Amino acid sequence: MNERIENLEEKLIEKSKEAFIVAIELYNKPTIKYRVEGFSFFICNAWELMLKAYLIQTKGERSIYYSDDRKRTISLSNCIEKVFTNKKDPLRMNLEQIIELRNTSTHFITSEYEQIYVPFFQSCILNYSNKMLEFFKIDITENIPANFLTLSVKLSPINPEEIQARYPEPIAVKLLQTVKRINDSMPAEGNDKYAVLIKHDIYITKKTDLATASIRITKDAEKAAFILKETKDMQRSCPYRRAKCIELINKRLKSGHINFINPTKAPSDEKYHTFNTSHFDLIVRFYQIKENPKYCYKYDRSTQTLFTYSEAAIELIVSEIKKDPEHIIQNLKNNIAKK
Protein backbone atom coordinates (compact mmCIF):
# COMPACT_ATOMS: atom_id res chain seq x y z
CA MET A 1 0.00 0.00 0.00
CA ASN A 2 1.51 3.35 -1.00
CA GLU A 3 1.91 6.33 1.28
CA ARG A 4 -1.02 8.30 -0.18
CA ILE A 5 -3.47 5.45 0.43
CA GLU A 6 -2.09 4.88 3.94
CA ASN A 7 -2.66 8.57 4.71
CA LEU A 8 -6.23 8.34 3.39
CA GLU A 9 -6.91 5.31 5.58
CA GLU A 10 -5.49 7.08 8.65
CA LYS A 11 -7.57 10.21 7.98
CA LEU A 12 -10.73 8.15 7.67
CA ILE A 13 -9.99 6.39 10.96
CA GLU A 14 -9.29 9.67 12.78
CA LYS A 15 -12.47 11.27 11.45
CA SER A 16 -14.39 8.13 12.37
CA LYS A 17 -13.17 8.31 15.97
CA GLU A 18 -14.13 11.98 16.16
CA ALA A 19 -17.65 11.26 14.88
CA PHE A 20 -17.99 8.39 17.37
CA ILE A 21 -16.96 10.55 20.33
CA VAL A 22 -19.29 13.38 19.24
CA ALA A 23 -22.18 10.88 19.04
CA ILE A 24 -21.63 9.71 22.62
CA GLU A 25 -20.98 13.16 24.07
CA LEU A 26 -24.07 14.56 22.37
CA TYR A 27 -26.28 11.72 23.61
CA ASN A 28 -25.07 11.89 27.20
CA LYS A 29 -25.70 15.64 27.60
CA PRO A 30 -29.04 16.05 29.41
CA THR A 31 -29.65 19.55 28.04
CA ILE A 32 -29.56 18.41 24.39
CA LYS A 33 -33.07 17.79 23.03
CA TYR A 34 -31.80 16.63 19.64
CA ARG A 35 -29.72 13.80 21.04
CA VAL A 36 -31.53 10.79 19.53
CA GLU A 37 -31.42 12.22 16.02
CA GLY A 38 -27.91 13.60 16.52
CA PHE A 39 -26.60 10.30 17.82
CA SER A 40 -28.00 8.40 14.84
CA PHE A 41 -26.39 10.82 12.38
CA PHE A 42 -22.93 10.82 13.97
CA ILE A 43 -22.76 7.10 14.79
CA CYS A 44 -23.67 6.26 11.18
CA ASN A 45 -20.95 8.64 10.00
CA ALA A 46 -18.44 6.99 12.35
CA TRP A 47 -19.26 3.53 10.99
CA GLU A 48 -19.14 4.65 7.36
CA LEU A 49 -15.69 6.21 7.72
CA MET A 50 -14.37 3.22 9.67
CA LEU A 51 -15.69 0.66 7.17
CA LYS A 52 -14.28 2.63 4.23
CA ALA A 53 -10.89 2.60 5.90
CA TYR A 54 -11.22 -1.15 6.36
CA LEU A 55 -12.22 -1.65 2.70
CA ILE A 56 -9.19 0.34 1.57
CA GLN A 57 -7.02 -1.84 3.80
CA THR A 58 -8.45 -5.14 2.58
CA LYS A 59 -9.73 -4.49 -0.97
CA GLY A 60 -7.94 -1.38 -2.13
CA GLU A 61 -8.93 2.23 -2.65
CA ARG A 62 -11.22 1.53 -5.63
CA SER A 63 -13.54 -0.52 -3.42
CA ILE A 64 -14.96 2.61 -1.75
CA TYR A 65 -16.09 4.19 -5.05
CA TYR A 66 -19.08 3.38 -7.23
CA SER A 67 -17.95 1.35 -10.25
CA ASP A 68 -19.78 3.67 -12.67
CA ASP A 69 -18.69 6.92 -11.00
CA ARG A 70 -15.19 7.14 -9.54
CA LYS A 71 -15.93 10.56 -8.09
CA ARG A 72 -18.57 9.25 -5.65
CA THR A 73 -17.86 7.05 -2.66
CA ILE A 74 -20.32 4.33 -1.71
CA SER A 75 -22.95 4.70 1.02
CA LEU A 76 -22.89 3.21 4.50
CA SER A 77 -25.38 0.54 3.39
CA ASN A 78 -23.03 -0.43 0.55
CA CYS A 79 -20.12 -0.64 2.99
CA ILE A 80 -22.11 -2.89 5.31
CA GLU A 81 -23.03 -5.23 2.45
CA LYS A 82 -19.38 -5.54 1.41
CA VAL A 83 -17.93 -6.09 4.89
CA PHE A 84 -20.73 -8.00 6.67
CA THR A 85 -21.98 -10.28 3.91
CA ASN A 86 -24.30 -12.35 6.13
CA LYS A 87 -27.72 -10.67 6.14
CA LYS A 88 -28.55 -12.43 9.43
CA ASP A 89 -25.45 -11.10 11.20
CA PRO A 90 -26.79 -9.39 14.38
CA LEU A 91 -24.23 -6.61 14.00
CA ARG A 92 -25.40 -5.89 10.44
CA MET A 93 -29.04 -6.01 11.52
CA ASN A 94 -28.25 -3.57 14.35
CA LEU A 95 -26.70 -1.08 11.93
CA GLU A 96 -29.63 -1.40 9.55
CA GLN A 97 -32.05 -0.52 12.36
CA ILE A 98 -30.07 2.63 13.17
CA ILE A 99 -29.82 3.60 9.50
CA GLU A 100 -33.62 3.32 9.38
CA LEU A 101 -33.84 5.74 12.32
CA ARG A 102 -31.37 8.15 10.71
CA ASN A 103 -33.44 8.20 7.54
CA THR A 104 -36.67 8.66 9.50
CA SER A 105 -35.17 11.56 11.45
CA THR A 106 -35.04 13.68 8.32
CA HIS A 107 -38.85 13.56 8.16
CA PHE A 108 -40.10 13.46 11.74
CA ILE A 109 -39.01 12.32 15.18
CA THR A 110 -40.78 11.80 18.50
CA SER A 111 -39.43 11.54 22.04
CA GLU A 112 -40.53 7.89 22.21
CA TYR A 113 -37.82 6.90 19.72
CA GLU A 114 -35.35 6.97 22.61
CA GLN A 115 -37.22 4.20 24.43
CA ILE A 116 -37.38 2.16 21.23
CA TYR A 117 -33.82 2.53 20.01
CA VAL A 118 -31.57 2.87 23.05
CA PRO A 119 -30.88 -0.93 23.24
CA PHE A 120 -29.66 -0.72 19.63
CA PHE A 121 -27.58 2.37 20.36
CA GLN A 122 -25.82 0.61 23.24
CA SER A 123 -25.03 -2.43 21.10
CA CYS A 124 -23.85 -0.21 18.25
CA ILE A 125 -21.34 1.50 20.54
CA LEU A 126 -19.91 -1.80 21.79
CA ASN A 127 -19.82 -3.23 18.26
CA TYR A 128 -17.91 -0.19 17.01
CA SER A 129 -15.40 -0.45 19.84
CA ASN A 130 -14.85 -4.15 19.14
CA LYS A 131 -14.44 -3.69 15.38
CA MET A 132 -11.94 -0.85 15.76
CA LEU A 133 -9.87 -3.17 17.90
CA GLU A 134 -10.29 -6.12 15.52
CA PHE A 135 -9.73 -4.22 12.26
CA PHE A 136 -7.07 -1.69 13.27
CA LYS A 137 -5.81 -2.72 16.74
CA ILE A 138 -7.19 0.58 18.06
CA ASP A 139 -8.55 0.70 21.61
CA ILE A 140 -11.18 3.43 21.55
CA THR A 141 -11.02 3.76 25.35
CA GLU A 142 -7.69 5.50 24.86
CA ASN A 143 -9.72 8.36 23.36
CA ILE A 144 -12.78 8.22 25.58
CA PRO A 145 -13.06 6.66 29.08
CA ALA A 146 -14.69 3.22 29.15
CA ASN A 147 -17.48 4.38 31.48
CA PHE A 148 -18.61 6.85 28.80
CA LEU A 149 -19.41 3.93 26.51
CA THR A 150 -22.51 3.31 28.62
CA LEU A 151 -25.31 5.62 27.58
CA SER A 152 -27.27 7.68 30.08
CA VAL A 153 -30.91 6.73 29.56
CA LYS A 154 -34.32 7.32 31.09
CA LEU A 155 -36.76 4.65 30.00
CA SER A 156 -40.51 4.47 30.41
CA PRO A 157 -43.02 2.10 28.82
CA ILE A 158 -44.81 3.08 25.61
CA ASN A 159 -48.58 3.13 25.95
CA PRO A 160 -50.42 2.86 22.59
CA GLU A 161 -53.44 4.84 23.85
CA GLU A 162 -51.20 7.69 24.96
CA ILE A 163 -49.40 7.69 21.60
CA GLN A 164 -52.71 7.85 19.72
CA ALA A 165 -53.91 10.71 21.92
CA ARG A 166 -50.68 12.69 21.77
CA TYR A 167 -49.90 12.64 18.06
CA PRO A 168 -51.75 13.14 14.78
CA GLU A 169 -52.87 9.83 13.27
CA PRO A 170 -50.09 9.43 10.62
CA ILE A 171 -47.34 9.91 13.21
CA ALA A 172 -49.03 7.71 15.81
CA VAL A 173 -49.52 4.89 13.27
CA LYS A 174 -45.90 5.13 12.09
CA LEU A 175 -44.59 5.09 15.65
CA LEU A 176 -46.69 2.11 16.74
CA GLN A 177 -45.73 0.21 13.59
CA THR A 178 -42.09 0.86 14.44
CA VAL A 179 -42.59 -0.43 17.99
CA LYS A 180 -44.20 -3.62 16.65
CA ARG A 181 -41.49 -4.14 14.04
CA ILE A 182 -38.74 -3.68 16.63
CA ASN A 183 -40.43 -5.98 19.17
CA ASP A 184 -40.98 -8.68 16.55
CA SER A 185 -37.31 -8.53 15.53
CA MET A 186 -35.98 -8.91 19.08
CA PRO A 187 -34.59 -12.38 19.87
CA ALA A 188 -36.32 -13.96 22.86
CA GLU A 189 -33.02 -14.52 24.68
CA GLY A 190 -31.45 -11.32 23.40
CA ASN A 191 -28.25 -10.83 21.44
CA ASP A 192 -25.76 -8.20 22.57
CA LYS A 193 -24.56 -7.54 19.04
CA TYR A 194 -28.10 -6.71 18.00
CA ALA A 195 -29.60 -5.02 21.06
CA VAL A 196 -28.55 -4.80 24.68
CA LEU A 197 -31.66 -5.62 26.70
CA ILE A 198 -31.98 -3.47 29.80
CA LYS A 199 -33.58 -5.41 32.61
CA HIS A 200 -33.49 -5.21 36.43
CA ASP A 201 -34.93 -7.99 38.59
CA ILE A 202 -35.15 -7.49 42.36
CA TYR A 203 -36.27 -10.37 44.53
CA ILE A 204 -35.54 -12.08 47.83
CA THR A 205 -33.77 -15.44 47.58
CA LYS A 206 -32.19 -17.93 49.95
CA LYS A 207 -29.54 -18.77 47.32
CA THR A 208 -26.64 -16.62 48.45
CA ASP A 209 -24.68 -17.24 45.24
CA LEU A 210 -27.43 -15.40 43.31
CA ALA A 211 -27.61 -12.46 45.71
CA THR A 212 -25.88 -9.09 45.35
CA ALA A 213 -26.84 -8.07 48.89
CA SER A 214 -27.86 -9.97 51.99
CA ILE A 215 -30.17 -9.43 54.96
CA ARG A 216 -30.88 -11.44 58.07
CA ILE A 217 -34.25 -11.89 59.72
CA THR A 218 -34.07 -12.94 63.35
CA LYS A 219 -36.32 -13.13 66.39
CA ASP A 220 -33.56 -11.63 68.52
CA ALA A 221 -34.99 -8.30 69.68
CA GLU A 222 -31.63 -6.49 69.46
CA LYS A 223 -30.99 -7.59 65.87
CA ALA A 224 -34.50 -7.88 64.58
CA ALA A 225 -35.23 -7.18 60.92
CA PHE A 226 -38.64 -7.01 59.39
CA ILE A 227 -39.94 -6.63 55.85
CA LEU A 228 -42.29 -3.68 55.93
CA LYS A 229 -44.20 -1.72 53.34
CA GLU A 230 -42.92 1.80 52.90
CA THR A 231 -44.73 4.34 55.07
CA LYS A 232 -45.29 7.92 54.00
CA ASP A 233 -47.01 11.05 55.17
CA MET A 234 -49.14 11.40 52.03
CA GLN A 235 -50.12 14.99 52.78
CA ARG A 236 -46.43 15.86 52.61
CA SER A 237 -45.82 13.68 49.56
CA CYS A 238 -48.80 15.24 47.77
CA PRO A 239 -49.00 18.79 49.09
CA TYR A 240 -50.51 20.64 46.12
CA ARG A 241 -54.17 21.42 45.59
CA ARG A 242 -55.41 21.67 42.02
CA ALA A 243 -55.15 25.47 41.84
CA LYS A 244 -51.53 25.40 43.00
CA CYS A 245 -50.70 22.68 40.48
CA ILE A 246 -52.13 24.80 37.66
CA GLU A 247 -50.16 27.82 38.85
CA LEU A 248 -46.89 25.86 38.95
CA ILE A 249 -47.55 24.21 35.58
CA ASN A 250 -48.12 27.61 33.92
CA LYS A 251 -44.92 28.96 35.46
CA ARG A 252 -42.92 26.02 34.10
CA LEU A 253 -44.46 26.29 30.66
CA LYS A 254 -43.63 29.99 30.56
CA SER A 255 -40.08 29.64 31.90
CA GLY A 256 -39.44 26.76 29.50
CA HIS A 257 -40.77 28.78 26.53
CA ILE A 258 -43.21 25.95 25.79
CA ASN A 259 -45.78 27.08 23.25
CA PHE A 260 -48.87 25.58 24.90
CA ILE A 261 -52.09 26.23 22.96
CA ASN A 262 -55.59 26.51 24.43
CA PRO A 263 -57.72 25.32 21.47
CA THR A 264 -60.85 27.07 22.79
CA LYS A 265 -59.27 30.54 22.66
CA ALA A 266 -58.46 32.80 19.73
CA PRO A 267 -54.79 33.76 19.21
CA SER A 268 -55.63 37.34 20.20
CA ASP A 269 -57.00 36.23 23.59
CA GLU A 270 -54.55 36.66 26.48
CA LYS A 271 -55.54 33.18 27.72
CA TYR A 272 -54.55 31.55 24.43
CA HIS A 273 -51.40 30.14 26.01
CA THR A 274 -52.80 29.54 29.51
CA PHE A 275 -53.16 26.07 31.01
CA ASN A 276 -56.42 26.03 32.96
CA THR A 277 -58.64 23.89 35.19
CA SER A 278 -60.37 22.02 32.36
CA HIS A 279 -56.99 21.13 30.84
CA PHE A 280 -55.77 19.88 34.22
CA ASP A 281 -58.89 17.75 34.77
CA LEU A 282 -58.63 16.34 31.24
CA ILE A 283 -55.03 15.21 31.71
CA VAL A 284 -55.73 13.86 35.21
CA ARG A 285 -58.61 11.83 33.81
CA PHE A 286 -56.77 10.49 30.77
CA TYR A 287 -53.62 9.46 32.64
CA GLN A 288 -55.64 8.20 35.64
CA ILE A 289 -53.56 10.33 37.98
CA LYS A 290 -56.10 10.14 40.80
CA GLU A 291 -55.77 6.36 40.84
CA ASN A 292 -52.00 6.45 41.29
CA PRO A 293 -50.78 7.07 44.87
CA LYS A 294 -47.46 8.28 43.48
CA TYR A 295 -49.28 11.26 42.00
CA CYS A 296 -52.38 11.85 44.09
CA TYR A 297 -53.67 11.59 47.65
CA LYS A 298 -57.40 11.27 48.30
CA TYR A 299 -58.93 12.02 51.67
CA ASP A 300 -62.35 12.79 53.06
CA ARG A 301 -63.05 15.93 55.02
CA SER A 302 -66.56 15.85 56.51
CA THR A 303 -68.81 15.28 53.48
CA GLN A 304 -66.29 16.43 50.86
CA THR A 305 -63.65 14.34 49.10
CA LEU A 306 -60.42 16.25 48.47
CA PHE A 307 -57.47 15.50 46.23
CA THR A 308 -53.93 16.75 46.50
CA TYR A 309 -51.09 16.12 44.10
CA SER A 310 -47.38 15.44 44.20
CA GLU A 311 -44.40 17.11 42.55
CA ALA A 312 -44.16 14.00 40.38
CA ALA A 313 -47.69 14.65 39.08
CA ILE A 314 -46.73 18.17 38.05
CA GLU A 315 -43.58 16.88 36.34
CA LEU A 316 -45.61 14.25 34.50
CA ILE A 317 -48.11 16.80 33.21
CA VAL A 318 -45.42 19.26 32.08
CA SER A 319 -43.49 16.42 30.45
CA GLU A 320 -46.54 15.28 28.48
CA ILE A 321 -47.36 18.83 27.39
CA LYS A 322 -43.79 19.33 26.15
CA LYS A 323 -44.16 16.43 23.74
CA ASP A 324 -46.91 18.16 21.73
CA PRO A 325 -47.90 21.48 23.36
CA GLU A 326 -49.97 22.70 20.42
CA HIS A 327 -52.18 19.64 20.03
CA ILE A 328 -52.22 17.67 23.29
CA ILE A 329 -55.55 19.04 24.57
CA GLN A 330 -57.46 18.47 21.35
CA ASN A 331 -55.88 15.04 20.87
CA LEU A 332 -56.86 13.97 24.39
CA LYS A 333 -60.42 15.20 23.85
CA ASN A 334 -60.66 13.28 20.58
CA ASN A 335 -59.32 10.14 22.18
CA ILE A 336 -61.69 10.27 25.14
CA ALA A 337 -64.64 10.95 22.82
CA LYS A 338 -63.91 7.68 20.98
CA LYS A 339 -64.26 5.62 24.15
Residue 51 CB neighbours (<10 A):
24
Report whether pLDDT(175) > 50: yes
pLDDT at residue 326, as a whole number: 92
Question: Which of helix, strand or coil describes residue 291?
Answer: helix
Q: Which of 36, 259, 76 is nearest to 64 (CA)?
A: 76
Q: Over the stretch 13-68, which tens digit does the pLDDT of each residue have? A: 999 999 999 999 998 887 877 788 889 999 999 999 999 999 999 999 999 999 88
pTM > 0.95: yes or no: no
What mean pLDDT do residues 207-214 have? 54
Q: Over the stretch 112-143, which tens digit does the pLDDT of each residue have? A: 667 778 888 888 998 999 899 899 999 888 88
**Which residues, 6+ apart, have CB-to-CB distance to 153 below 8 Å?**
114, 118, 198
Q: Which residue has the higher pLDDT, 187 or 57?
A: 57
Query: Residue 242 is which amino acid?
Result: R
Q: Which of 125, 133, 50 is nearest to 84 (CA)?
A: 50
Report whether pLDDT(202) > 50: no
In order, the DSSP letters of 57-71 are HHH-GGGGEETTEEE
Question: Which of helix, strand or coil describes residue 220?
Answer: coil
Report whether pLDDT(203) > 70: no
Helices (DSSP H) in the chain: which residue ranges? Answer: 3-27, 35-59, 76-83, 90-105, 113-136, 160-166, 169-185, 234-237, 242-255, 277-286, 311-323, 328-338
Integer Cα distance of 43 and 47 in angstroms: 6
Report whether pLDDT(228) > 60: no
